[in-house]
Structure 1
């Protein structure tokens, strides 16, 4: 299976020792390059090198990254996206080049952070915080409300969709889902809204992407929504198998996702960023409950 590698290991138990094959998560670097400018004077910029799991979603990862970093805004900005070609002989599947249309102006100050990112870390630092304040809208507290019981049910949906995790135990998952109309108070009494929901690609089971890096998994699923022209994701929920870090909230805010639910704990900066940008932040998601750290008004509890 693509995205997984097999290694022979020695398994030591309490009463036995044996050699067996073991499946592990595949990790390789991906370089994202940007082509821009007039056709007669094209420029190329290496934007990022990130360690990712090659699961067939590299283009989504590249597009999601460029969007959440504020470099591109809509699908129409893209002229082409492809793997780089080695002197016309073969595609280099660890290098993705995104070509922008000549009319698109690129703010090079946004791409000056030409960084190497491990699979466990994403964007960080003062420059990153200041950049999201420039291109992320503050989410309003509208009529998008979700029962606590529905939030709890999302953990099982996430687990069902973690195909690569089931084999390796080593990948994070990001799920974007549009709540069922029976759980969505904003849809009550509106046949038109229920019909719109039924045709939504993010309804019912939602979309899920996996990667060894949590921020890569999120870039992939946002990139999938970007390719399908589904942004902004104002009536959707993001579920992460990881902890809640600053870059998770930053990317969710860029896609205008109002509710983020994470299996792990939030960092202080994640909480502060969620408070500032109007994102409902949930941590320690379990089948029997969870903690709400920011903007609790979107969660309906039957206990109150």
Structure 2
């Protein structure tokens, strides 16, 4: 469903110097941002093939994302919404040919779908603050507080660099976030990129769901930006016990991590880092 980057014409301006301003025409590679509509097909049966006729699904959410790994994105979003816990909970997904940038998803009978979103989710943030700290902590399928994993400080310090090595689209555009799921020894399990931080995490979680790796016990989620409430929420709902961010967390993110027993690290740069919660997991 589309490409992750496109070439556009720009004017390059170099200011100052003896000759004054210098302009030149060139091409630049930009990250693609497009909407994705997710629709629910009722009935618990398989999703029709793209060529089959049938009623359209019911809109669930509209998000702005970078095309690529869209099925992972939808699966991860459903995990983050608390709707699914296993790949078998999703009967099928298909990219619609009659509606561009639209995916229809069918859930197993008995699986309660998430409440529809009546607005577009931007790429800047997801559904921030949709649940309170108490709501999230009290409804976890896989509590992470008891996860016995420990991680070496040297391993955590190396994760941003390992994540960067897998950011192929960022190399072309310089405009994408990334998230990666790693073992406690720093082995990458999956890395995804997107113009939205929350989408990158959803893609990683969705890949884990579809590969049968949820709950993601004993793993570390590394993100390229800051740690928000929503990213902590997505991590704990996937059973991930450690979240590491290159930038700062928010107060609500720390509150949620503390309540759920998640190890939250921020400002992971070079050999230093801040540990905001559950420092006992850091060797």
TM-score using structure 1 length: 0.82
Higher mean C-alpha displacement, 119-128 vs 44-53: 119-128
Question: Is structure 2 residue 36 aligned with structure 1 residue 30?
Answer: yes
Question: When the two structures are aligned, how many residues end up with a matched partner?
Answer: 267
CA distance in structure 1 between the partners assigned to 2:73 and 2:132 by the alignment: 19
The 3 A distance-change label for structure 1 pair 10 and 204 is same
The 3 A distance-change label for structure 1 pair 158 and 126 is closer
1:270 alignment partner, one of 241, 253, 257: 253
CA distance in structure 2 between the partners assigned to 1:132 and 1:141 by the alignment: 16
Question: Is structure 2 residue 4 aligned with structure 1 residue 7?
Answer: no
2:190 alignment partner, one of 179, 198, 207: 207
- Where structure 2 has 5 or more consecutive residues not aligned to the other structure, the ranges are 46-54
Aligned equivalent of 1:53: 66
Q: Secondary structure at the match of 2:188?
A: coil
Contact persistence 2:147–2:241 (CA under 8 A) = no
Contact persistence 1:138–1:276 (CA under 8 A) = no
CA distance in structure 2 between the partners assigned to 1:253 and 1:26 by the alignment: 29
Aligned equivalent of 2:244: 261
Aligned equivalent of 2:48: none
Question: Is structure 2 residue 241 aligned with structure 1 residue 235?
Answer: no
Q: Secondary structure at the match of 1:64?
A: helix
Question: Is structure 2 residue 78 aligned with structure 1 residue 72?
Answer: no
Aligned equivalent of 2:205: 222
Question: Per-residue displacement from partner, 1:105-135 (whole Å, max 9, x unpaired)?
Answer: 425xx41443311001112235465652453
The 3 A distance-change label for structure 1 pair 276 and 134 is closer
Aligned equivalent of 2:127: 123
Contact persistence 2:150–2:184 (CA under 8 A) = no
CA distance in structure 2 between the partners assigned to 1:121 and 1:143 by the alignment: 31
Shift of 1:38: 5.9
The 3 A distance-change label for structure 1 pair 9 and 53 is same
CA distance in structure 1 between the partners assigned to 2:266 and 2:128 by the alignment: 20
CA distance in structure 2 between the partners assigned to 1:128 and 1:59 by the alignment: 28
Higher mean C-alpha displacement, 76-85 vs 57-66: 76-85
1:167 alignment partner, one of 149, 166, 172: 172
Q: Secondary structure at the match of 1:47?
A: strand
CA distance in structure 1 between the partners assigned to 2:244 and 2:216 by the alignment: 15
Shift of 1:77: 1.6
The 3 A distance-change label for structure 1 pair 95 and 75 is same
How large is the RMSD of aligned CA atoms in angstroms? 2.0
- Where structure 1 has 5 or more consecutive residues not aligned to the other structure, the ranges are 87-91, 181-202
Structure 1 or 2: more helix by fraction: 1
Contact persistence 1:3–1:53 (CA under 8 A) = yes
1:151 alignment partner, one of 133, 149, 156: 156
